[in-house]
Amino acid sequence: MVAGKRRSVPAWIVRARERTKEYESQLAEQQPRVLAAQAGDPDALRWLCAHTEPARKEAARFYLPARTDLWPDAENVGWIGVVDALGRWNAGAGVRFLDYAVHHIGNRVREFAQAYRSPVRRPAWVYRAYRKMERLIDQGLDWEEIGRQWGYSESTLASIVGVYRGDASLHAQVGRPGEEDDRTCLDLLPAPEGSGQEEEGGEEDRLLTLKLLLSGLDRQAQRVVRLSFGLDEEESKPLTPREVARRLRLPAKTVERILTTALETMRIGLLRHERCYALHPLPVGVAAHQLHQPLPLDEECPEDFE
């Protein structure tokens, strides 16, 4: 009787076992230091401060992307989250402390960021006046004619517009209008610090980054962004949200909301990409051979891009 062959273990099971062993070894290595930190050992606390610094920095930049002046304070507040995690961490749960502390760090930094958010007060009369001004602008009137027709001073008009200056307006134009408009798709992304626009390979890297950021949007949001910034295959001229609404047969408010959400998603994705690019030689999810392939912006973006 011929003995049957021994069945080979699937590769994914082997990799899972290796990851489990690595996790358990890291847990056994870190556990004595964390227990010493719970007991108040200064050396262990310094070790913990150094190893939680990347998580505290990332939380500060994620929840306060536009307030660089508050990043040091937010990182210090993240240390309070580390102390919270020290008091609640259970050594017998089989979870690494650094993985457990990330959630407490994020909670503390998020509460700190919410305390510095200033509410935008918009009286009802200002809202009605702003919408009426949009209708008058569509009729071809300029600011002076609107002021004379209403009897408002320039300061009153400026106060009405100032309430909404941070919004994505239907009439907001990025770049210079007319023939002098030299904005391109690359202007969606900031230029790398300390390097000029003419640096060799810089445009290719920024195009690749733009491709990655667009791949994180749904197809409707991608179309709105491309039409708004002149990236679409059918329309190379940037369109206003009102023109995009007519092109896509959508309400203007819906296009405005989609554009605002898409740009915010791309901004957050750019912050994450910059951090990942500092840790990896290539952007996450992109193989080396893809850098030598053409990346036209009118291609269908893969939905499972990570």
Report DSSP letters for 125-175, one per residue: HHHHHHHHHHHHHHTT--HHHHHHHHT--HHHHHHHHHHTTTS--TT---S
Q: How many CA atoms lie within 13 A of 57 on its CB side?
A: 9
- How is domain 222-297 classified at the architecture level of CATH? Orthogonal Bundle (1.10)
Instruction: Say yes or no to pLDDT of 162 above 70.
Output: no
Q: Tell me the mean pLDDT in the region 61-85.
A: 85
pLDDT in tens, 274-286: 544 443 333 333 3
The answer to whether the predicted template modeling score (pTM) of the entire model surpasses 0.75 is no
Domain boundaries along the sequence of the chain:
14-115, 124-162, 222-297
Mean pLDDT of 13-22: 65
- The residue written with tokens 């606390």 in the block is 45
Residue (of 262, 260, 251) closest to 219 by Cα position: 262
86-101 tens-digit pLDDT: 888 887 777 788 888 8
Does 116 have pLDDT greater than 60? yes
